[in-house]
């Protein structure tokens, strides 16, 4: 029998060895209800924050909803889904750390929070559940952690991302302090970013060209930035004393507003004057050009550069 098992393992080894991790996915849900006995639970409203390697990358709001409980594992449907592959340059090749914080809207409410993770591979395996049914999956290294409220909860986990690109600035020394000259340069960088939204939009197109998923030739042809400007759209940023410059323990410095987003349309209602596909195009480009916060690193010349 031992020889048969050894032979089966040997035959299975090539397919196991060939499996490559394509991404790591994380799912978070705060809820009330009993997933062990119910097919649905109710999510708890509140505000989540997702940090990758000490950098705040997302602040999703969690609404009150009914969500399904799935599979024999009693997996609660996610309120927040974080596929590592989509995180962009904040992700390092190799070891990373994710942290998810949640503040419920009602600080006195008793609730549970579920945090799950799994590697997504390029190989499909078959798993047998407790009822003897076979289930095909391309996930591996699955895990779950639960915590209880009331009050805020926090989850933290290290994970490997060998699928992430290894960018030169990832190896820069961590920035631990900023001088007044640094702060002045970063204020100017924010102002210049807002000023990119003006004809002939050459500065905006240089920024957009760094996003490989965008077809710059088609964007130039459609002229949706021109249509937005003609409709009266203007981009403004916060006053200098309303900006925060956060060191992260890494090469990045995050620029954000003390309250609210870093950039905003001066009169957002004018976007409705831009119609159909041009309005969709305009919305996509504005989200690329003017994110809620900017991450910058010191370039080889000593100046600051936006990296995401």
Average pLDDT of span 275-297: 97
pLDDT band at 257 (very low <50, low <70, confident <90, very high): very high
Whole-prediction pTM: 0.85
DSSP H helix total and E strand total for the chain = 6, 18
Q: Are 147 and 157 in contact (CB under 8 A)?
A: no
CA distance 64 to 45: 5
What is the rounded distance in angstroms from the CA atom of residue 127 to the CA atom of residue 299? 49
| Assigned token pair, 143 | 């895990």
- Tell me the mean pLDDT in the region 193-222: 96
Which residue, 87, 236, 69, is CA-closest to 163? 87
- Calculate mean pLDDT across residues 150-161: 98
Its sign, for the CA torsion 282, 287, 288, 291, is positive
| 188's tokens | 């100017």
Q: Are 31 and 41 in contact (CB under 8 A)?
A: yes
Q: Which residues of 73-94 are buried (b: 16+ CB within 10 A; e: fewer)?
A: ebbbbbbbebebeebeebbbee
> Based on the number of CB atoms within 10 Å of its own CB, is 98 exposed (0-12), middle (13-18) or buried (19 or more)?
buried
Q: Is the dihedral of CA 301, 302, 304, 308 positive or negative?
A: positive
pLDDT digits 0-9 by tens, 219-243 = 999 999 999 999 999 999 999 999 9
pLDDT tens, position by position, 112-133: 999 999 999 999 887 776 667 7
The structural domains of the chain, with segments of one domain joined by +, span 20-166, 171-306
Three-state SS for 3?
Answer: helix
The predicted structure's pLDDT at residue 18: 62
13 vs 142, residue with greater confidence: 142
Token output for 107:
């600080």
The answer on pLDDT for 70 being more than 50 is yes
Which SS3 state, helix, strand or coil, does residue 268 take? helix
Q: Are the beta carbons of 271 and 228 closer than 8 angstroms? A: yes
**CA angle, 74 then 78 then 81, to 5°:** 135
């Amino acid at each position: 029998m031992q020889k048969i098992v050894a032979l089966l393992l040997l035959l299975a080894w090539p397919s196991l060895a060939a499996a490559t991790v394509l991404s790591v996915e994380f799912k978070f849900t705060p809820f009330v209800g009993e997933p062990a006995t119910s097919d649905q639970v109710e999510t708890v409203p509140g505000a989540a924050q997702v940090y990758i390697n000490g950098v705040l990358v997302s602040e999703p709001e969690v609404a009150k909803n009914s969500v399904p409980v799935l599979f024999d594992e009693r997996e609660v449907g996610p309120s927040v889904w974080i596929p590592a592959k989509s995180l962009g340059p904040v992700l390092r090749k190799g070891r990373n750390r994710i942290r998810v914080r949640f503040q419920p809207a009602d600080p006195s409410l008793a609730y549970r929070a579920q945090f799950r993770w799994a590697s997504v591979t390029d190989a499909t395996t078959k798993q047998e559940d407790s009822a003897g049914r076979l289930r095909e999956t391309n996930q591996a290294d699955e895990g779950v952690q639960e915590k209880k409220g009331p009050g805020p909860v926090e989850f933290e986990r290290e994970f490997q991302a060998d699928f992430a690109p290894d960018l030169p600035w990832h190896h820069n020394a961590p920035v631990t302090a900023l001088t007044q000259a640094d702060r002045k340069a970063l204020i100017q960088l924010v102002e210049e970013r807002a000023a990119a939204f003006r004809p002939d939009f050459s500065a905006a197109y240089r920024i957009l060209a760094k996003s490989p998923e965008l077809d710059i030739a088609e964007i130039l042809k459609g002229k949706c930035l021109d249509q937005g400007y003609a409709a009266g759209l203007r981009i403004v940023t916060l006053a200098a004393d309303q900006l925060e410059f956060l060191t992260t323990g890494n090469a990045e410095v995050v620029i954000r507003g003390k309250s609210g987003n870093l950039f905003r349309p001066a009169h957002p209602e004018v976007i409705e004057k831009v119609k159909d596909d041009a309005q969709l195009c305009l919305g996509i480009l504005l989200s690329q050009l003017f994110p809620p916060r900017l991450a910058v690193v010191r370039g080889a010349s000593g100046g600051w550069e936006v990296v995401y």
